[in-house]
C-alpha cells in the first residue's frame, strides 16, 4: 500500500494505492467523510472499503481531500472536493488504462461527492454509498442516476435518519434500468464503530455479485501458500 502524491487542482493530494495483479483488473476509488468533521482516508469505514476492494482484486485508491493530512488547499464546500476526486480518478485511470471496470465508493460526505462524480464520469460502472447524508445535502442531481449500486446505512444512525435515505432510495429505484440494493445494518450508528465486519460482509457480497470478472479477481487476490 504505497504512499502516493497526485497533482490536484490546489496542489498536492496525498493518497494510498494498491495495484492489483493483472493488466485488466477493475479499479475503485474510495472517498472519505467530511474534512471538517474528522474525515480522513484513514477512517475505519474508508479503510474497510479500501481493504474489501483490494481483497476482491481491484486496483484501489483512497486519498485525503484538500486540507486534510498532507493534501494542500482548504475545504471548499464540496466543489473543490469534487475536483480533487476527479483528479484522483484521472490518476487511477492513467495507471490502469486497460481496467475492465471502474467503481466509486464513499462514506457520508464522500458518498455525496462520489454520486456527483458518478454523474460526470460515464466510465464509472457502479457505486457503493455508505451513510449518504440525504438529510443534509441535495441529491436531486441524480436525475437520472446513471448506474446501479449499493447503499448501506445503520438503522441506529442519529446523524442521518434512515427515513431520509429510504426516501432517496425510493426515488432512485423508480428510475428506468436502475437497481438500488439498500441494506440496513442492525445496531449500527453513523460511524459503524462496532460494525466494521458487517459492513465489510455486505460490501464484499455486493462486489462479488456485480463486479465483472469478480470470481477471477477473487482468485487472483488470494496469495499462494508456500510449501
- Span 113-128, mean pLDDT? 98
Residue in the block written with cell 472519505: 32
Q: What's the CATH number where 157 sits?
A: 3.40.50.1820
Q: Which of 60-64, 163-167, 173-177 has the lowest mean pLDDT?
A: 173-177
pLDDT tens-digit series, residues 122-159: 999 999 999 999 999 999 999 999 999 999 999 999 99
Distance CA 189, CA 209 (A): 26
Instruction: Report if residue 226 sits inside a domain.
Output: no
Instruction: Report if residue 128 sits inside a domain.
Output: yes
Instruction: Report if residue 21 sits inside a domain.
Output: yes
User: For the chain, what is the mean pLDDT?
Assistant: 93
| CB-CB contact of 81 with 56 (8 Å) | no
Instruction: Report if residue 161 sits inside a domain.
Output: yes
Q: How do 59-63 and 3-8 pair as beta strands?
A: unpaired
1 — pLDDT class (breaks 50, 70, 90): low
Instruction: Report if residue 227 sits inside a domain.
Output: no
Range of the domain at 110: 3-221
Instruction: Report if residue 25 sits inside a domain.
Output: yes
The count of domains in the chain is: 1
pTM: 0.93
| CB-CB contact of 45 with 191 (8 Å) | yes
Amino acid at each position: 500500500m504505497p504512499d502516493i502524491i497526485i497533482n490536484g487542482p490546489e496542489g498536492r493530494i496525498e493518497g494510498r494505492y494498491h495495484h492489483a495483479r493483472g493488466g485488466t483488473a477493475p479499479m475503485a476509488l474510495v472517498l472519505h467523510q467530511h474534512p471538517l468533521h474528522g474525515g480522513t482516508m484513514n477512517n475505519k469505514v474508508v479503510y474497510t472499503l479500501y481493504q474489501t476492494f483490494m481483497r476482491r482484486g481491484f486496483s484501489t485508491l483512497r486519498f485525503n481531500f484538500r486540507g486534510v493530512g498532507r493534501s494542500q488547499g482548504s475545504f471548499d464546500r464540496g466543489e473543490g472536493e469534487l475536483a480533487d476526486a476527479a483528479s484522483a480518478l484521472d490518476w487511477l485511470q492513467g495507471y490502469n488504462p486497460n481496467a475492465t471496470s471502474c467503481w466509486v465508493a464513499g462514506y457520508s460526505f464522500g458518498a455525496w461527492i462520489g454520486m456527483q462524480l458518478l454523474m460526470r464520469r460515464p466510465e464509472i460502472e457502479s457505486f457503493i454509498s455508505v451513510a449518504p447524508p440525504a438529510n443534509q445535502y441535495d441529491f436531486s442531481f441524480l436525475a437520472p442516476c446513471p448506474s446501479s449500486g449499493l447503499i448501506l446505512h445503520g438503522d441506529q444512525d442519529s446523524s442521518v435518519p434512515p427515513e431520509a435515505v429510504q426516501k432517496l432510495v425510493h426515488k432512485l429505484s423508480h428510475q428506468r434500468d436502475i437497481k438500488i440494493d439498500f441494506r440496513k445494518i442492525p445496531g449500527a450508528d453513523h460511524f459503524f464503530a462496532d460494525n466494521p465486519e458487517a459492513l465489510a460482509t455486505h460490501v464484499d457480497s455486493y462486489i462479488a455479485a456485480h463486479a465483472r470478472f469478480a470470481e477471477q479477481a477473487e482468485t487472483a487476490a488470494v496469495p499462494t501458500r508456500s510449501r
